Amino acid sequence: MGAEPPSTAESRSSSTVPADHPGVAELFAVLAYGEISAFYRLADDAAFSPSLRGRVALAGMAAAEMSHFETLHTALSERGVEIYAAMEPYRAALDAYHASTTPSTWLESMVKAYVGDGIAADFYREIAGLLAPEVASVVREVLADTGHSEFVVQEVREVVERSPLQKDRLMLWGRRLLGEAITQAQYILAQREELAELVILASGDLSNIAALIDRMQIEHAERMSVLGLH
């Protein structure tokens, strides 16, 4: 995933969602499909790399995503949940997000790896603080930085600092990633009742979900700034 700014929810101490809430399996399932999608996407994006170093870096990121997928596979199996059936309801929405945000250049793929994945990580990390400890630990483990933050920042900043045109294009790309991610997240919550209930419980109420999205936008802006896109 992308860079890891501190989450407000992580600082809270008491869980409000029991470990056996049915939404937990839904949460693990959508995370699992996100991880396996990231694996294939990173493998494909490696072809854009102008250097061997870049291809190797993306291969390492992809390997980390696969490791996260295996962690979620184990967590779901321990709950008696078959992972492929559990992931299926999320395939259309997540595939739609990736189809609408397919990078056309190496720099776009870098920004998506850092900023796009970070948007999703912010959302899940926010609610993790109010999940049962054994659930929260799985969520945080699979949201851990895949080790590409420093590489991506260097790749992008070197270009945008000398090219205002590239900077403007990537700023627009970042805004598109944010808008598409929020749209698909809202669609998923509208379609998946148990997951929506878990998010509402973890957030407190519907107004807090709106506040959570506001914080995601702030954290997105911070990531863009780190890349020199501000």
Asked whether residue 7 is assigned to any structural domain, the reply reads no
The predicted structure's pLDDT at residue 185: 83
Instruction: Read off the pLDDT band of 174 (50, 70, 90).
Output: very high
Measured in whole angstroms, the distance separating CA 195 from the mean position of its chain's CA atoms is 16
The amino acid at residue 115 is V
The predicted structure's pLDDT at residue 6: 42
Kindly report the CATH number assigned to the domain that includes residue 114: 1.20.1260.10
Cα–Cα distance for residue pair 211/204, rounded to 1 Å: 11
Q: Identify the three-state secondary structure at position 227.
A: coil
Cα–Cα distance for residue pair 66/1, rounded to 1 Å: 12
Residue ranges in the chain assigned as alpha helix (H): 22-45, 52-78, 83-100, 106-111, 117-128, 133-142, 149-160, 164-191, 193-203, 206-226
What average pLDDT does range 162-176 have in this prediction?
95
Instruction: Read off the pLDDT band of 157 (50, 70, 90).
Output: very high
User: What are the pLDDT digits (tens) for 3-40?
Assistant: 444 444 444 445 578 888 989 999 999 999 999 998 99
The predicted structure's pLDDT at residue 190: 82
Asked whether residue 62 is assigned to any structural domain, the reply reads yes
Select the more confidently predicted residue: 124 or 166: 166
Residue 146 CA: distances (Å) to CA of 21, 40, 45? 29, 15, 15
> Percent of the chain having pLDDT more than 70?
89
pLDDT surpasses 60 at 111: yes
Cα–Cα distance for residue pair 40/114, rounded to 1 Å: 16
Asked whether residue 24 is assigned to any structural domain, the reply reads yes
The predicted structure's pLDDT at residue 187: 84
Are 212 and 27 in contact by the 8 Å Cβ rule? The answer is no
Structural domain count, the chain: 1
Asked whether residue 104 is assigned to any structural domain, the reply reads yes
pTM, 2 dp: 0.85
The predicted structure's pLDDT at residue 1: 46
Asked whether residue 10 is assigned to any structural domain, the reply reads no
Cα–Cα distance for residue pair 211/153, rounded to 1 Å: 28
Cα–Cα distance for residue pair 155/111, rounded to 1 Å: 10
The predicted structure's pLDDT at residue 191: 83
Instruction: Read off the pLDDT band of 161 (50, 70, 90).
Output: very high
Are 137 and 75 in contact by the 8 Å Cβ rule? The answer is no
The predicted structure's pLDDT at residue 216: 83
Asked whether residue 96 is assigned to any structural domain, the reply reads yes
Instruction: Read off the pLDDT band of 159 (50, 70, 90).
Output: very high
Select the more confidently predicted residue: 87 or 125: 87
Mean pLDDT (the chain) is 85
Beta-bridge partners for 131: 17
Asked whether residue 38 is assigned to any structural domain, the reply reads yes
pLDDT surpasses 90 at 195: no
Sequence-separated contacts (24+) of 38-46 with Cβ below 8 Å: 38/62, 38/65, 38/117, 39/65, 39/66, 39/69, 41/98, 42/113, 45/103, 45/106, 45/109, 45/112, 45/113
**Domain housing 143:** 16-226
The predicted structure's pLDDT at residue 206: 64
Cα–Cα distance for residue pair 201/9, rounded to 1 Å: 13
Asked whether residue 6 is assigned to any structural domain, the reply reads no
User: What are the pLDDT digits (tens) for 60-90?
Assistant: 888 889 999 999 999 999 999 999 999 999 9
